[in-house]
Amino acid sequence: MKQIARTSTPTRKLLSCALASCLLLGAAPVFAQSTGATIRGQVMADSAPAAQAQVTATNIATGLTRSVQSTANGGYSLAGLPPGTYKVDVNAGGKTTTQNITVAVGQTATVNLGVGGVAETAGGAATTLDAVQVTAEAPVETKTSEIATYVTPKQIQALPQGTRNFLAFADTAPGVQFLSDASGNTRVRSGAQSANAVNVFIDGVGQKNYVTTGGVSGQDTSRGNPFPQSAIGEYKVITQNYKAEYDQLSSAAIVAATRSGTNEFEGSFFWDRTSTDWRSRSVFEEREGATKAVSKEEQYGVSFGGPILKDVAHFFVAYEAKEYLSPRTFNLGRGYAASDLPADMQAEYGTGTYSSPFKEDLYFGKIDWAVGQNHYFELTAKYRDESETIQVQDQRLPSAATLNTNEETRVDLRYQFSSYNWLNDAHITYEDAFWSPKPANFANGYFLSDGNWWDTIARSGGSDNYQNKGQKGWSLQDDLTFNGWEGHTVKMGVKYKQVDLQTLEQNAYNPQFYYDIHESLTNPTHVEFGAPVAGFGNGTVDSKNKQFGIYIQDDWVVNEHLTLNVGVRWDYEKTPSYEDYVTPAAVVSALQASNANLPGSGIDINDYISTGGNRKADKNNWAPRVGFSYDLFADERHVIFGGAGRSYDRNLFDYLQNEVSKASWGKYVYNFNTALHPCNTATDATCREWDPRYLDPEFLRASSVAGSREVFLNNNGLEVPYSDQFSLGMRNTFEMLGNDWNTEVAYSYIRSHDGIAFVLGNRLADGSFFPSTPAGATDPPPWGAGFAPFSNLILAQNALETKSKSVYVKLEKPYTEASRWGVTLAYTYTDSEQNSPIDGWPGAFNAENVRDYGWFPGKVPENRVVLTGIWDGPWGLTFSGKGTWADATPRYYQNCNVSAWAFCHFESYTPDEDFKQIDLAVEKVWDTGSDIRLRVRGDVLNVFNWANYSGYEDWRGGAGEPQNPAWGRPNAISLPTRTFKLSFGLDW
């Protein structure tokens, strides 16, 4: 393995000069609504520009019609079109022509039309338009500054995958990872930033998770899917240079369009399954004495749609379900074996494996209604309900499980009004999404430890995880596009959202007792428990937030070569629970006492004391986005593009709410005076003589000292995290093997700022953070020091940063009905860093300041390749495959394998094992001679049964000890092992 020590922290550089110098290079194109497509170009009549020509696009499947008139120079633009195939009719001076065009989600297709002669289509091919074309062309979007990848309906249907999560194909875009951990929880990550920085837009509406992690609502600790895959028509992944209309993100935007009913009644049913006998053992199940855990993955669903009134109104509904039993493996800590455990723990350990259940139901419905050419309505609704057993693996035995529920409802009413050069797109939305983990057993938790209470061997009893967190509210957003200014498309929009953010956090509701295996299995040495703080509540927080955003953007076609894009947006959010919070008087008194003002730390504690009137929402969230594309030969085959822009995300409410929830639900610690763990009850406020009555949770809570809890405080001037993004690249289209191939090479630089970190505010009596002896000590932090009568002071501040330099390479031969095959290749090289070893919850407690950590390698593979292929072969068989290869991801650990414990410090290492996986699928469709078609499909996931690890032994050893021989050794595997999945379906 490669080990990388921390480096010194460089001086923070201002980006204002860089932004100013790049104002002609930047953001995304600004042609259409986020999911709507645009067909634009020039109308020619007898080789001259045709002014006032009428251009009408009619959706062949639904009958939806849009019309515009060309400008004086013959220019036209049809915006806001739902993805699909359109018949484009042109009427100029009494002459008419027709052409069929297929456009993708959010695509801007340049299609020059002609009457009485020849017209140019995208790509430069000349086509005589004297008659209606039988097939529909699918123009390739090259004249854009977006770095975007389209995921087509064919790819969603044909490519192999283990789960029906439509986001699983997002990694066909360079720079994007679809990640699954050892528990099967999934998330999408782009660049060096976390999954929290991503946003998904479905039919133009963001699905942002405002409260917890994961980026998308419902994706915090879940094996579930955010949306039924059968209801997704297609989507695209924008990694940089997105439009000014995209908000609440700082990395990738995923833009999806849902399916609609058509003028034909259509439906589909699917069922797929895999089970214990259809998968290979994991490397941990091959251990001596281990058995193969029972597993099952079953997915089924139905979708259908059709006309309510032909060419006017349609409906579409979809239902999908997942039922999983996923194998989990126990790995006892500190090198202990099952035979070393007490009898009751041995019984729970069993054979060393466990099957974790999961159930999800997803519903989606949609009605669309077109009133003439000018008015279009859509009403969509989604409901998600899932339950699962989590946190059973490694040292956690089944009784310590957590039961997790995920419930989400979203409704969107959309109205579009179009009138020649104007398009107005309005949404009224409602959302209600809650994530609720609770203990499977309400009982005391039992930690068996190896000496120190934190050196866990195994744990059983009740879980300490008790939460209920979510968001509900409504929003109004309106986007207006104007195409009547020659050479320009101007778009502007406004969004107002009122959303109630709620959290219940009563962690350690079940007291957690720690026992030293070397001393007693019945008398604990340590306990952690939660209790309400009298007069302050019970760990619940409710904040009625208001969000406001505006933007304007312009696409300027300067000439046939150059297109410039200029946009800016501004966002603002009021969070009453943060702005109106008043720091309790007892906390203020403790802070203002001697030694509480953090002498020599550079921290002014008054920056964290809130009076209820000295905090304001961050109003400085101006995000300029500018860009360009230059078509070298004006044929859309060789285009240079680039962009620079800023994008603001938002502060997770789960971070902000700690200040309030911890003030009303305290977490307390008692150390019990034992022979091997002595403490002084006279001088140590946390020390107690053992009394069996402490096993009663109510007695524990009644005995808690109100002042001994931890205190969380937010900085009074918290700002919104953001990223600055720069890119430069080139696209080329060339002919090979009788087909057009598309390539894209781009260089990207992204620097993110102002992520929230929690730092320890305690200081020793002399004002220092680390002990003065021995000299140069870096451990331990001053837990429990300098903040009497409270135990610890935790401060939330803007501090986290990442930076990444990437090279994106993309090669694509799109699948077409004519060629019946397609290939994509995405390669990413990334050199990334982050200014701390934080991985997950942003606690930075092992350094006085975040900057003291130095820079660490980012949690991103240096090299990553994703290859896909689809081929319609003989005998009606469709073959498909997907291969992923990636370097190992760096890991962070605290190195205490040094001369003395006081010199523990953080380092990183890169495991030896890279990621490799190849999936293959084959499908056969039979025409039954009726309107029903039968589908049978087989998927083989991880064909070569490569072991891909998701966890490692990060304990290198204690001070003065030999290095742990298991350090850096894998201890958790990412599924799947080699697995066969059988699918069956009916289409009608």
Q: 309 CB contacts (<8 Å, ≥6 apart)?
A: none
pLDDT value at 595 more than 80? no
**What is the C-alpha separation between 754 and 802, in angstroms, rounded?**
10
pLDDT value at 439 more than 70? yes
- Residue 153 belongs to some domain of the structure: no
- Residue 246 belongs to some domain of the structure: no
How much is the mean pLDDT over the chain? 90
Q: Token digits for 591? A: 């802070």
> Residue 706: its pLDDT value, please?
67
pLDDT value at 32 more than 60? no
pLDDT band at 583 (very low <50, low <70, confident <90, very high): very high
pLDDT value at 828 more than 90? yes
- Among residues 128, 160, 189, the one where a domain terminates is 128
> Residue 12: its pLDDT value, please?
36
Kindly calculate the radius of gyration of the chain based on its CA atoms and give it in whole angstroms. Answer: 30
**What is the C-alpha separation between 593 and 247, in angstroms, rounded?**
44
- Residue 6 belongs to some domain of the structure: no
> Residue 597: its pLDDT value, please?
59
Q: Token digits for 330? A: 């126990």
Q: Are strands 687-688 and 665-672 parallel, antiparallel or unpaired?
A: parallel
Query: Can you tell me the mean pLDDT for 773-778?
Result: 85
Query: Which DSSP letter does residue 394 get?
Result: B
Query: Which DSSP letter does residue 594 get?
Result: T
**What is the C-alpha separation between 919 and 159, in angstroms, rounded?**
9
Phi then psi for 169, rounded to 5 degrees? -95, 0
Query: Can you tell me the mean pLDDT for 855-870?
Result: 97
- Among residues 128, 161, 186, the one where a domain terminates is 128
- Percent of the chain that is helix, strand, coil (3-state, to 5): 10, 50, 40
Give the tens place of pLDDT for each residue, 247-292. Answer: 999 999 999 999 999 999 999 999 999 999 999 999 888 876 778 8
Task: Flag the least confident range among 155-159, 245-249, 769-773.
Answer: 769-773
In DSSP terms, 368 is beta-bridged to 314, 378
pLDDT value at 31 more than 60? no
Element (DSSP H or E) covering residue 664? helix 658-664
| DSSP output for 765-812 | TTS-SS-SSSTT------TT-SSTTSS-EEEEEEEEEEEEEEEEEEEE
CATH number for the domain that contains residue 754: 2.40.170.20
Question: Is 165 within 8 Å of 229 (Cβ atoms)?
Answer: yes
Task: Flag the least confident range among 333-337, 397-401, 566-570, 871-875.
Answer: 333-337
Give the tens place of pLDDT for each residue, 682-715. Answer: 888 789 999 999 999 999 999 887 678 889 999 9
Question: Is 431 within 8 Å of 392 (Cβ atoms)?
Answer: no
> Residue 790: its pLDDT value, please?
86
> Residue 125: its pLDDT value, please?
37
- Residue 16 belongs to some domain of the structure: no
Give the tens place of pLDDT for each residue, 523-577. Answer: 999 999 999 998 888 999 999 999 999 999 999 999 999 999 999 999 999 999 9
Give the tens place of pLDDT for each residue, 142-153. Answer: 889 999 999 999
CATH number for the domain that contains residue 86: 2.60.40.10
Task: Flag the least confident range among 172-176, 374-378, 451-455.
Answer: 451-455
| 734-745 core/surface letters (b: 16 or more CB in 10 A; e: else) | eeeeeebebebb
**What is the C-alpha separation between 154 and 272, in angstroms, rounded?**
19
**What is the C-alpha separation between 141 and 187, in angstroms, rounded?**
28
- Residue 101 belongs to some domain of the structure: yes
> Residue 132: its pLDDT value, please?
35
Number of domains composing the chain: 2
Percent of the chain whose predicted confidence (pLDDT) is above 90 = 73
| 365-381 core/surface letters (b: 16 or more CB in 10 A; e: else) | bbbbbbeeeeebebebb
pLDDT band at 590 (very low <50, low <70, confident <90, very high): confident
End-to-end CA distance of the chain: 54
Query: Can you tell me the mean pLDDT for 203-220?
Result: 94
pLDDT value at 22 more than 60? no
Give the tens place of pLDDT for each residue, 931-988. Answer: 899 999 999 999 999 999 998 999 899 899 999 999 999 988 898 999 999 999 999 9
SS (HEC) of 280-332: CCCCCCCCCCCCCCCCEEEEEEEEEEEEEECCCEEEEEEEEEEEEEEEEEECC
> Residue 371: its pLDDT value, please?
94
| DSSP output for 76-123 | EEEEEEPSEEEEEEEEETTEEEEEEEEE-TT-EEE--EEESSEEEPTT
- Residue 11 belongs to some domain of the structure: no
Question: Is 644 within 8 Å of 26 (Cβ atoms)?
Answer: yes
CA atoms within 13 A on the CB side of 344: 10
Q: Between residues 930 and 827, which one has the greater pLDDT?
A: 827
Phi then psi for 786, rounded to 5 degrees? 75, 15
Of 731, 727, 732, 730, whose CA–CA distance to 747 is shortest? 727
Question: Is 241 within 8 Å of 942 (Cβ atoms)?
Answer: no
- Among residues 80, 109, 128, the one where a domain terminates is 128
Amino acid identity, position 758: F
- Residue 572 belongs to some domain of the structure: yes
Task: Flag the least confident range among 151-155, 314-318, 648-652, 783-787.
Answer: 783-787
Q: Provide the domain limits for residue 471.
A: 263-440+467-505+533-672+705-987
pLDDT value at 119 more than 50? no
pLDDT band at 402 (very low <50, low <70, confident <90, very high): very high
Question: Is 108 within 8 Å of 86 (Cβ atoms)?
Answer: no
In DSSP terms, 390 is beta-bridged to 402
pLDDT value at 116 more than 90? no
Query: Can you tell me the mean pLDDT for 505-516?
Result: 96
Question: Is 147 within 8 Å of 176 (Cβ atoms)?
Answer: no
Of 752, 738, 906, 938, whose CA–CA distance to 820 is shortest? 738
- Residue 88 belongs to some domain of the structure: yes
Give the tens place of pLDDT for each residue, 661-678. Answer: 999 999 898 999 999 999
Task: Flag the least confident range among 136-145, 162-171, 441-450.
Answer: 136-145
> Residue 88: its pLDDT value, please?
94
CA 583: distance to chain centroid?
A: 33
pLDDT band at 17 (very low <50, low <70, confident <90, very high): very low
> Residue 82: its pLDDT value, please?
92
Query: Can you tell me the mean pLDDT for 296-313?
Result: 96
pLDDT band at 803 (very low <50, low <70, confident <90, very high): very high
